[in-house]
Structure 1
Amino acid sequence: MTTLRHGDRSQAVLILQKNLNRHGANLKPDGDYGDITEAAVRAYQLKTGLVADGIAGSKTHISLAGGDCAQLLRNNDLIAAAERLDAPLACIYAVNEVESRGRGFLDNGKPVILFERHIMHRLLAKVRNEGDDPAELKRHADQLVITNPALVNPKAGGYIGGTAEHQRLAMARLIDDISALESTSWGAFQIMGFHWLRLGYRSVQDFVTAMCIGESQQFDAFTRFIETDPALHKALKTRKWAEFAKLYNGPDYQRNLYDIKLQRAYERHADCGCGQAVTS
Structure 2
Amino acid sequence: MILRHGDTGYRVEALQRALVSAGHALEMDGWFGDETEAAVRAIQRAHGLVIDGLAGPKTRAALGGRPDPRRLRQIDLVHAAERLGVELAAVMAVNEVESRGSGLHFGGPRGGQPVILFERHIMRRRLIHYGVAPMPYQQRRPDLVNDKAGGYIGGPREHDRLEAAAALDDSTATGDGAIEAASWGLFQIMGMHWQRLGYASAAAWREAMAATEGRQLEAFTRFIEADHSLLTALRRHDWREFARRYNGPAFEKNDYDTKLAAAYRRHAQQLEVAA
Range that drifts further, 230-239 or 34-43:
34-43
Residue 34 to residue 275, structure 1, CA distance change in 2 (3 Å): closer
Q: Which residue of 1 aligns with 2:253?
A: 255
Q: Which residue of 1 aligns with 2:135?
A: 142
Residue 31 to residue 157, structure 1, CA distance change in 2 (3 Å): closer
Identify which of 114, 124, 128 aligns with 2:127: 124
Preserved contact between residue 41 and residue 274 of structure 2 (Cα < 8 Å): no
How do 1:18-29 and structure 2 match up within 5 A?
Answer: 18-29=17-28
Q: Which residue of 1 aligns with 2:73?
A: 74
Cα distance between partner residues in 1 of 2:37 and 2:243: 27
Over the residues paired in the alignment, what is the CA RMSD in angstroms? 1.7
* CA displacement at 1:275 relative to structure 2: 5.1
Q: Which residue of 2 aligns with 1:156?
A: 149
Cα distance between partner residues in 2 of 1:151 and 1:144: 8
* CA displacement at 1:23 relative to structure 2: 2.8
Residue identity matched to 2:240: A
Q: Which residue of 1 aligns with 2:13?
A: 14
TM-score (norm 1): 0.89
Gaps of 5+ in 2: none
Cα distance between partner residues in 1 of 2:26 and 2:112: 34
Q: Which residue of 2 aligns with 1:64?
A: 63
Query: 2:164 aligned with 1:171, yes or no?
Result: yes
Residue 122 to residue 81, structure 1, CA distance change in 2 (3 Å): same
Gaps of 5+ in 1: 128-136
Please state whether the residue corresponding to 1:114 is helix, strand or coil: strand
Cα distance between partner residues in 2 of 1:199 and 1:124: 21
Residue identity matched to 2:209: M
Query: 2:241 aligned with 1:243, yes or no?
Result: yes
Preserved contact between residue 89 and residue 275 of structure 1 (Cα < 8 Å): no
Q: Which residue of 2 aligns with 1:90?
A: 89
Cα distance between partner residues in 2 of 1:112 and 1:17: 28
Please state whether the residue corresponding to 1:27 is helix, strand or coil: coil
Cα distance between partner residues in 1 of 2:12 and 2:23: 17
* CA displacement at 1:232 relative to structure 2: 0.6
TM-score (norm 2): 0.90
> How big is each residue's C-alpha offset from its partner over 1:59-105, in whole Å with a ceiling of 9 and x where there is no partner?
11111011141221111111111111111111111100001121112
Cα distance between partner residues in 1 of 2:148 and 2:17: 50
How do 1:25-44 and structure 2 match up within 5 A?
Answer: 25-44=24-43
Cα distance between partner residues in 1 of 2:23 and 2:222: 37
Identify which of 219, 224, 227 aligns with 1:226: 224
Cα distance between partner residues in 1 of 2:59 and 2:191: 29
